[in-house]
A and B are shown apart, each in its own frame.
Chain A
Amino acid sequence: MKRLGPLAVAVVVVLALAVYPMVGSGYGTRSVLQVFMWIALAGSWNLISGLTGYVSFGHVAFFGAGAYTAGILIAGSGWSWPLAALAGGLAAGLLALGIGVPCLRLKGPYFAIAMLGLNEVLRALVSYFEGLTGGGNGLSLPTLDATVPVYYAMGLTAVGVTVAARLIISSRFGLRLMTIREDEVAAEAMGIPTFRHKLLAFLLSAIGPGIAGALTARDQGYIEPLSVFPLATTITMIVMTLFGGKGTVWGPVLGAAVLFVAQELVWARYPYVHPLLFGAIIVAVVLAMPRGVLGLLQTKYRLPRTI
């Protein structure tokens, strides 16, 4: 009986979101699609940074890598977009492995800065290899109205990331990731191979953004270096996760939904103060509830880890 409540809510929410594109407006569908994207991005960032404490300041690099992988495969090689989206996730995962091996040996701020650098390097590379990527002129994909199918694909991606977070956080693997955040030296001395754990978490955290980037490329039909590698996207996923509660399952979902809606409302009415307000939210969250909304509730009401 106790478990029926949340399950019923979940079924209703999933059904409502599934029918929404058939009854909602184009603007509404596009907005929900964006929320899905932010859930996938924030939830993925949470897997590496929320759990291990290794703050990735360039996570949008995986989004961009996925977008360009898919863009090139669709525009250049004529792949279908669902396959290209999977390839985008795979490419982002491989990139994470390649980058993780040297960078995850760095500690604290050095890792954050290395990731920031990675993003800038990728953006520069994409601009440089014009033959493949179109350089600064961008890359146009063949016209296709795929908003509704992309909506479902993005929804699946968001669900996939959240389910993965749920499984990881309720497992001893997830707890071991948290020991890295709590005290990496003690974790090592207790026999936990921290490097391997970080690398696996980093790999998993790159796949969601890779797929989301690929789907976004398909949906927008045009990508350019500045549109898929913006630092602001990394910052937004960080803020959403911190707001909802880092290290929790539903924190990034809550943060993505609440902040996206807030952003839309404020942006529509006060376009100039929008960045100001966003900055104010960051400061307020860090000061008033450093563990985020769910983190606060979790400690206060002794809720299980898997919220």
Chain B
Amino acid sequence: MDVHKHFGGVHAVNGVSFALERGRIHGLIGPNGSGKTTLFNCITGLERLDAGHVMLEGERIEGLKPWQIARRGVGRTFQVIRVFPELTALENLLVVTTGPHETARAQALELLSFVKLEGLADEYAGNLSYGQQKLVEFVRMLMRDPLLILLDEPAAGVNRTLLNDLLDAVRRLRDAGKTVLLVEHDMKVVMGLCETVFVLDHGEKIAEGPPGAIQSDERVVEAYFGR
């Protein structure tokens, strides 16, 4: 993909190009304000691109509406949790699919037990703890069985036990052939989980490669810590 996005005179994302490989976990890192979330919004159609394109499975998706992109197989979570608080955990998942009700229900319950929340299926999502809401948001995104999974700071505000479960789940999804792109500030998570890392700074890609190489890249160190 190749993405340009500016707000007024600010080039939030300025010609960032990269390719994701199927069945791999990719990390997207960069200082605050470097354009990571904007890039996610461009991929998922929440922001319109000013120039460039986004390809999914050989087809251009950048002009489509967010719901169309979601139906093409792009699932995401948000930096700030966005569950539907006055819907139950189960309903949060049910609303996403269109198939027959019984199939959807069975699938939703299976996903909730995947993250050990089956006992809270009928609880309002707004009453769940932060971590539980994060899990509901995570499995809600899986209801459509997406090809590409975008995770915006999955580790933020999550305790160690929960985090390990979450990371395990991401690895299992990768093993099942899903492509994952995640934004994360926790470098331990990025280095331990990702196979390829892209680094953004001021809306531009400054580095790309395996985590080991990125850590010693001069421009990356400079972007994070200054010269």
Chain A residues near B (Cβ < 8 Å): 172, 175-176, 178-179, 181-183, 185-194, 299
> Which of B22-30, B62-70, B154-162, B210-218 touches A?
B62-70
Q: Is B186 an interface residue (CB 8 A)?
A: no
| Cβ contacts under 8 Å, B67 to chain A | 188-194
Contacting pair B82 A175 (CB below 8 A): no
Q: What would 13 more interface pairs be, CB under 8 Å, given A186-B82, A190-B70, A190-B140?
A: A175-B94, A178-B84, A185-B82, A188-B66, A189-B66, A189-B78, A189-B82, A190-B95, A191-B67, A191-B71, A192-B67, A193-B68, A194-B67
Chain B residues near A (Cβ < 8 Å): 44-46, 65-68, 70-71, 76, 78, 82-87, 91, 94-96, 98, 101, 104, 124, 140-141, 143-144
Known: A185-B46, A188-B66. A172 touches B95 (CB 8 A): yes
| Cβ contacts under 8 Å, B143 to chain A | 190
| Cβ contacts under 8 Å, A190 to chain B | 67, 70, 95-96, 140-141, 143-144
Contacting pair A188 B46 (CB below 8 A): yes
Contacting pair B46 A192 (CB below 8 A): no
Q: List 6 A-B contacts (CB under 8 A).
A: A179-B84, A185-B82, A187-B84, A190-B140, A191-B70, A192-B67
Known: A188-B46, A189-B46, A190-B141. A172 touches B70 (CB 8 A): no
Contact partner of B85 (CB less than 8 A), chosen from A172, A182, A193, is A182
Known: A182-B86, A189-B70. A175 touches B44 (CB 8 A): no
CA distance A193 to B140 in the complex (A): 16
Contact partner of A193 (CB less than 8 A), chosen from B44, B65, B76, B124, is B65
How far in angstroms is the closest Cβ of chain A from B56?
14
CA distance A57 to B141 in the complex (A): 35
CA distance A299 to B124 in the complex (A): 9
| Cβ contacts under 8 Å, B44 to chain A | 189
CA distance A194 to B98 in the complex (A): 14
How far in angstroms is the closest Cβ of chain B from A281?
24
Known: A190-B70, A191-B71. A183 touches B95 (CB 8 A): no
Contacting pair A192 B95 (CB below 8 A): yes
Contacting pair B84 A183 (CB below 8 A): yes
How far in angstroms is the closest Cβ of chain A from B137?
8
| Cβ contacts under 8 Å, B85 to chain A | 182
